[in-house]
Structures are given as C-alpha cells and as structure tokens.
Amino acid sequence: MSEWYISTYRCSNGVEEKTKYPVPDPSPKEGARKRERVIRRAEKGCTEAKHEVSRLLNENFRAGRDFHITLEFDKAGYQKLQKRAGSLRHDDLLLAADREAVNFIRRVQRECKKREAELKYLFVVSDKNGKTGGYARPHVHLVVCREAMEICLAKWTAGKARESVLYGGRGGDLGDLAFYMIAQTRYIRNRKKYTPSRNLAKALVLPPVKSKNPEAELRTPPGCVKIWQAENRGGRAQHLRYWRPPGTREDEESA
C-alpha cells in the first residue's frame, strides 16, 4: 500500500508550490537512505515540465522587470529552417528550430560576454497554435533578464522579435506564462520541452513530509493567497500554487 507525501517549493518572489504524491511502499526495513531515494523518485515522477518551468521563472525572473520575447521566422527565415530540416515533416522542422534557437543563444552569449552583461534565460520552441492546438510555423518563446533584452532583439535575424515586459499574477506569479509556453510545445522522444541557462537558481525544496490524511485535498496555508490548484483526481498527484505575503507564519503540514 502506498504512503503519501507532501513536498513544498519556495520561490524567491514569495510564490510557493505544494505537491502531494504517492510513494510506493517505502518499507522501513530497507533503511533510511533507500527510503529517501524512493521518495525522491516518486516526487520527480509526478512533476511535469510546466511545474518545473513555473518554479524556475518564479525563482529567477520578476514581473515588471524582465521580458518575454516571441521570436518568429519570416519567409526567408522559414526557408532556411526548411533547408536545415531537410524535409517538411513537422518533427524535423521543430528539431531544426531547436538548433536555430541554440545557435541564437550562442550569439547572444558572446555579445553579453563582450559587454559584461548578465544573461539569464529560459526558452521553449513551439509549433502549436495557442488557440486551436493545431500546427503552426515554428517560433520561440524566450524569457530573459532585462540586462540582455536589447542584445536578444539585435541578434535574432530570422524574422520578427516581439518583446513585452513580464506580467505576473498575484504576488508576481509567472506560473500562467510557464503553463502557456509548455502547452505550445510538443513531445518528441528524447527532446526536452524547455532549455534554461545554467545559471538559473532552483526553488528551495523543503524536506518531504508524510501526509496525515492521504485522501484530503491540499489546502492553502493560513494567511496565503491561492493562485492555482489542479483538479483533485483520486489516486493521482495533487498540485497547489499560492503566494505567501511577507511576514506570514509558516504552516504545519496537515493534508
């Protein structure tokens, strides 16, 4: 029989996430270290890309300060992309766009190094229409720090680049943007859905706590403001995102 645990992630902008997940029979006889490994594997297995990106954005970028840039391919840029792909297959075009995005980032990195400018980024390459879910011309969603924004605009030569300052929800939450970007990219075997810069910090992860009531729904801690909660489907992991105002007392796990 599975036990249930709750992991809490704290981002530097005050946004927190809780994930409640089942751990398959971590027997006490197996020893503390093996038990911890089983719990970590269960925790990792229930975390989707959209939650990972949400935490990375909330930890490293700020609403009203940093930028979201959409990089598009014009006619000439798309023809070059087709040549790189070697076919018109959607998968080949998407992978070619991935490579073009990586080459673009290298150009930005070189220029930032020359100017001694900070570069923090996370990008997602998409070929889905955000409204219909159908195929669209490949494009790149890039979140970048303010210091490198102008350099990014100058170094993208394959088409238009449309920038907008990051807009956050309650507490400056950037989770909606993370969900939006991941929803527009497709799964291809052995392809990662997003690419972060190596200097991005990870959210603080508190030690997993055994759930006192496995069947209960995750609750927003007292004094905190709920931002988003996934539908509770019995037997499956639960996810909750909320904002903790400064000075709010830390809660005891109770779900």
pLDDT 10s digits, 3-59: 889 999 999 999 999 999 888 765 666 666 776 777 767 666 656 899 999 999 999
Torsion-angle region of 133 (φ positive above 0: left; ψ -120 to 50: alpha; else: beta): left
**Confidence (pLDDT) at 123:** 98
Instruction: Please say if the pLDDT value at position 132 is more than 90.
Output: no
H helix runs in the chain, sequence order: 32-45, 49-60, 75-85, 90-115, 149-155, 175-183
The answer to whether 253 touches 209, Cβ cutoff 8 Å, is yes
Mean pLDDT, the chain, integer: 90
Lowest mean pLDDT among 36-50, 105-119, 162-176, 197-211: 36-50
Q: How far is residue 139's CA from residue 195's CA, in Å, rounded to a whole number?
A: 14
The answer to whether 56 touches 66, Cβ cutoff 8 Å, is no
Q: How does residue 254 score in pLDDT terms, banded at 50, 70 and 90?
A: very low
69 phi/psi in degrees, rounded to 5: -120, 130
**Confidence (pLDDT) at 26:** 56
Identify the top-confidence range among 29-33, 214-218, 242-246: 242-246
Taking the mean position of all CA atoms in its chain, how far away is CA 112?
A: 24
**Confidence (pLDDT) at 43:** 62
Q: How far is residue 179's CA from residue 160's CA, in Å, rounded to a whole number?
A: 23
**Confidence (pLDDT) at 187:** 85
Structure token pair of residue 11: 């981002």
**Confidence (pLDDT) at 231:** 86
**Confidence (pLDDT) at 134:** 87
**Model's pTM, two decimal places?**
0.90
